[in-house]
Structure 1
Amino acid sequence: MEGNVMKLNDKMPARDTLAGSIPMGHTKTPVLARTKIQGFDDFGNLLFETENQIVLGGALFILEKVFGVESPLYVDYLNNIMGVATDEPIDEIYPQDTIVTLFGVGTGGCGDSIRSVKDVKFYEREIFDMIPFRVTDEELTPAEQKKYWFKKDMNGKTAFYLKKFEQNPEIKVLWKDAEGDEDGSEVESDVHTTQRTEPIETFVEMVLKISKKDIREYFELHGDIEQTRVNSIGLFTGCLRTLPDGTEDFKQVKLFSKLNIPNEMLTLAKDLTLVYRIYTS
């Protein structure tokens, strides 16, 4: 297992609870039945197990995308909140290429003690104390330019607040024929003729990676390298567009889901890999 690995599982029932209601302070959303996040060290040892949440903006994104209608409630874009790529707004609510494709991190999800992880509220629209993955005055390599986005000036340097997934998301359709939490066998295309009675589960799997270069530049810039850490992680929707100055960046960026964890210290340079699943059955 390379680096630290966290397995993140969201379960989203394929029934009409998408239209359910929820109290404002509740920590569960109507689109999720159960979530499971496991953190592992370099040796595969379980570090923690917690839950994740699709937030209001993500729930509305699902409904608006699936049914092609616009919600009467507007959740603001991260572009407007942070003042990034706000020129020439897009009139269309969700262009066809708007997808869940980015993630960001922050330090506002937990206090100093391990027991002070803050609950994620369904109505939240941003990562609190969001920090950039990279802060540099040098040009990124061609490979890095494909990974790091949401550029903003920071004391004469360029900060990149969002990062692409490590690889394209993958949809999996599996029989639930394995022991415990192990993955089952793949469902074949002739499943409609099967005599099998086991349930089938479907999910999309995403791989997120915080590399050795990430995060540290921000803390070094502020002379606080010993506090290099993350404790909040969010997935974001967005669509890539050419800006008036000829560069590219993501517009209509909106928080889709968020989780807060105990402080994951990154003082020692190391990779942190997250395997993130969203289940529909």
Structure 2
Amino acid sequence: MKKLFKITLLVLISSFMISCSSVDKKVKVSNQEYIELQVEEDKNILFGKTDYLSPLNRRFYAFNRFADRTIIYPVMTTYDYYVPNFVQDRLKNFVSNFGDIRNTANLLLQFRILEAVESTFRFAINSTIGLLGMFDVASEMGIKKYQESLGNTLAYYGVGEGFYIMAPLIGPTTLRDSIGLGAEGYGLAELDPYDVINIDVGTIWFSTLVGFQMKKDANVYFGESDYIFEYEYLNYLSSKLRELNLQQAKTTRKNIF
């Protein structure tokens, strides 16, 4: 109960902080006005007018570029070369199954009860029959996998995304999503869902394992393109990807009470 109180308090604080930093104004506009506003927003992103932390963000971008080129990319290529595909798939499925805990929690926070039950059922099947999710039995049974985050949940309740952040090792994100990611990490560490099998999800090695698989799934490496305006385009493309993810989340919602 004490852990649940801490997590709830952290979510409320996160919502308050971000809502203070960014308030979305919704007005009715014509199609032409909408297009003009969208073009103006895109120009502001590309020209860095909305990148309020640009000096700091560019330093983190340089760090990410250095880390990817000298450490992460060589490690990934070595992993791909030496580790059998069967083993790689087991790790990928394990991390994906762990992510269903986050998905289910955010479905509940959005009061999407039927979808939360479906996600819980999926996690239960894969964690038992699928051996901690290493085998995706639920997908073979036709049980849908949802992709939700605390950032999506806050956006659903009207919390603005806040300013753009180039996070170390993580990459392009926003204040809303980065706080959401931190809150999720803290909540999972407090709940410790794998404690019964002596796996501590709050340890450095477990976080590194999850981060490693997320990086491999993304398959994006800073500096890989050698394009001089890569930083600006990463900002722009990440913004469009967030919009697409939120739009997809809206279209897949079945029941919101």
Please classify the TM superposition score into its range, dividing by the shorter chain length.
Answer: under 0.3
TM (normalized to structure 2)? 0.24
TM-score if structure 1 supplies the norm length?
0.22
Higher strand share: 1
Greater helix fraction, Structure 1 or Structure 2: 2
